[in-house]
Structure 1
Amino acid sequence: MWSRRLVLGALVLPLALLVMRDAPVRRAPPEWVAVGPQPPHGAPRPAIVSRAAWGADEGMVRQRAAYTGAVSAVFIHHTGHPNGYDCADVPDMLRAVQADHVRGEGWDDIGYNFVVDRCGTIYEGRAGGIGRPVRGAHAKGFNADSVGIAALGTFDPGATVPQALEEGIAKVAAWKLRPGANPRGTVRLVSTNDESKYKKGEPAELHVISGHRDSYRTLCPGDALYKRLPAIREAVARLRER
């Protein structure tokens, strides 16, 4: 004769199987998602348009994301696009940037961690998780412990930098910087690549919020945007003091 425990088990097992069969299927995320740590942030997360929303080609991503330590520095870039674009066209523009970075530059994915358009909209760039310290391909020699934010446009001398764009950059920078980082201050980073302004292994004292030209021989992010970096630093500091 079966024991009472076995009888109860026989009754419960079919019910468990039924519940499992009717439960929603949990599909595993792509390999580049949910791998790195979730670091603390210095300010509330702003609204960010996801890769899925702008139509990133995940099949184009060559390798799973790599992760670094908490963000200690922000590098500001520009993409080189004409400034008169319609903000409704930005998803198409970002897909073109991703294709150029992968097929033209030979990178694993779009290089920037985030892109901000002239309307102030913030877009997720490189894959790996918006809230995670994803290692980008934006600042040769200094991709570790940093985040790359690209302004969509060209900001040569005489160009106008839209206020909404500045505000968008400040919001994502204030959020991504690790707690305790001083947006008005400097940070000591060590170069990992001889092609930067600093030889591999050489320390560099850089602004916590720097332009790409501070670490690499380039005109990026353009004179007009570079001149706005002090104002952006102040905006980031105010956001983190709230």
Structure 2
Amino acid sequence: MRQILLFGLLVFAYVKGECPAMYQRFQWGAAPPPQTIPMPPTVPNVVIHHSATRTCTSVSDCFALIKSFQTNHMTERGWDDIAYSFLIGGDGNLYEGRGWGRQVQGTQPPEWNYLGYTFCLIGTFEDELPTAEQLERLNNLINCAWGDGHVPENYTLRGHRDVYAGTACPGQAFYDQIQTWPHYNASLATSN
């Protein structure tokens, strides 16, 4: 309950232009994507993921894990880049994935590729929630997204399973919680 209340209280704490600090792609050794396609300036959705892996508890551990995600997504799945726009490690740090304004081919169901930003919390959250620090960073990132116009004020929040039926992501415990958050809507409508 405390984490839900914490999320609700932080929603109003954002000050425009004060996006949280994060580690950039070059710092974790991202490979350049063969192609990127610009996203619209504002997209209507925030889609929440978990990595369904172990978590990471240090910057170097998170760098290695994120690099392994990108390698898997590009070589095993045939996508042009890492699937996530941003990642949040068990160490509480934010990491740039694709970042703002860039989409790549094949990283979500095709109809969703240009409709939302994807925020991944590193870990598996079937039976437990992300840490309070991870949830706080997620809230800060979502507030940054709408405060800086990447998503509209009336954005829609969804779990990955809401846009792709073939997954249990973001884990049942985490999914149960995000359904109580402001802006959550499981409807598969593509605009607000």
Measured against the shorter chain, the TM-score band is: 0.7 to 0.9
CA distance in 1, matches of 2:44, 2:152: 9
Please say if 1:152 is aligned against 2:100. no
Higher RCO (CA 8 Å, separation ≥ 6 residues): 2
1:133 alignment partner in structure 2: 101
Q: How many residues are matched? A: 161
Alpha-carbon RMSD: 2.2
Q: What pairs with 1:174-213 in structure 2 (closer than 5 Å)?
A: 174-177=143-146, 178=149, 180-182=152-154, 208-213=156-161
SS of residue matched to 2:81 = coil
Is the 2:79–2:107 contact (alpha carbons within 8 Å) kept by the matching residues of 1?
Answer: no
Indicate how the Cα distance of structure 1 residues 53 and 47 shifts in structure 2: closer, same or farther if over 3 A, else same. Answer: same
Indicate how the Cα distance of structure 1 residues 138 and 166 shifts in structure 2: closer, same or farther if over 3 A, else same. Answer: farther
2:175 alignment partner in structure 1: 226
Higher radius of gyration, 1 or 2: 1
CA distance in 2, matches of 1:68, 1:77: 20
Displaced runs of 4 or more, over 4 A: none
SS of residue matched to 2:64 = helix
CA distance in 2, matches of 1:43, 1:159: 33
Is the 2:44–2:115 contact (alpha carbons within 8 Å) kept by the matching residues of 1?
Answer: yes
Share of identical aligned residues, percent? 27
Indicate how the Cα distance of structure 1 residues 42 and 77 shifts in structure 2: closer, same or farther if over 3 A, else same. Answer: farther
In the alignment, structure 2 segments of 5+ residues that lack a partner are: 1-14, 184-192
Q: Give the letter aligned to residue 177 of structure 2.
A: R
For residues 159-194 of structure 1, give each alpha carbon's deviation from its aligned partner in whole angstroms, at most 9, with x where no partner exists. Answer: 2320111111111122123364225xxxxxxxxxxx
1:67 alignment partner in structure 2: 38
Q: What pairs with 1:37-48 in structure 2 (closer than 5 Å)?
A: 44-48=18-22
Q: Give the letter aligned to residue 57 of structure 2.
A: D
Q: Give the letter aligned to residue 134 of structure 2.
A: L
Deviation at 1:231, TM superposition (A): 5.6
